[in-house]
Amino acid sequence: MKLYGYWRSSAAYRVRIALNYKGVIAEQLSVHLVKNGGEQHQQQYTALNAQELVPTLVTTDEDGRELVLTQSLAIIEYLEDMHTHNPLLPQSASDKAIVRAMSLTVACEVHPLNNLKVLQYLAAELDISDSAKASWYHNWVHQGFAALEQQLEHYSGKFCFGDKITLADLCLVPQVYNAERFKVDMTPYPNIVRVNANCLAEQVFIDAIPENQHDAT
């Protein structure tokens, strides 16, 4: 099994946490998103991932054929199905829906608008200033985090959903990492800050931290 990622990619960060939590070993291969114009655009990689994004998981399917998976949540749900120990989703349909909703608040509403290719487009194609780009970034984080903070008021315990690690925690931690990197004020979000701190005390999260990766610079 191979995981193509990048140390600062929040989507790859999610998958690293999932692999750690499941105890699944994958060879970590770096795709540098900035060097040489972005290695994700090179033909060798686009043959695996036509979206020119990370992560990409390469493994074998049930029949022994090569299986190439893209999109972090699809990869994590594949790992959830194939490695049922240490589940990342609750048992009941209603609880699963709640966890998925919290996860998608980050993965579909916040992260895509703050992704590297979006920020690069704002600067290179629309000539947006650094200050305006920062305002763009902060706006979408605050909108998503405000909603997530309300969800955590109802459902969180030690982690996003009760006292067990779930998919929602895997989405939350990388987004908080990015928010802190870009100096988003986290004061309005005490539940997010608390849950994030609890997660980062766990070894499976510590081992996945961007600065702990072999390609960190």
In sequence order, the β-bridge partners of residue 70 are 56
User: Distance (Å, rounded) from C-alpha 77 to C-alpha 193?
Assistant: 26
Domains annotated on the chain, with CATH: 2-86 (3.40.30.10), 93-204 (1.20.1050.10)
What is the per-residue DSSP string for 100-112? Answer: HHHHHIIIIIIGG
pLDDT of residue 165: 98
Tokens 């703050």, residue located: 114
Q: What is the pLDDT along the chain (217 residues), one digit of tens a residue?
A: 999 999 999 999 999 999 999 999 999 999 999 998 999 999 999 999 999 999 999 999 999 999 999 999 999 999 999 999 999 999 999 999 999 999 999 999 999 998 899 999 999 999 999 999 999 999 999 999 999 999 999 999 999 999 999 999 999 999 999 999 999 999 999 999 999 999 999 999 999 999 999 999 8
Place of tokens 């650094």: 130
Whether pTM > 0.75 for this model: the answer is yes
* Sign of the torsion angle spanned by Cα atoms 45, 48, 53, 55: negative
CA distances from 117 to 34, 40, 112, 167, 182 (A): 10, 11, 9, 25, 16
Residue 58 corresponds to which tokens in the numbers above?
């390469």
Q: How many helices (H) and strands (E) does the chain have?
A: 9, 4
CB neighbours of residue 202 within 10 Å: 18
| Amino acid 74: pLDDT | 97
Distance between CA atoms of residues 127 and 49, nearest Å: 28
Phi/psi at 37 (nearest 5 deg)?
80, 5
Prior bond of 210 cis (ω within 30°): no
Residue keyed to tokens 């590297």: 116
Task: Mention every residue, 6+ apart, whose C-beta is less than 8 A from residue 207.
Answer: 16, 20
Q: Which amino acid is at 50?
A: A
User: Cβ(110)–Cβ(175) under 8 Å?
Assistant: yes
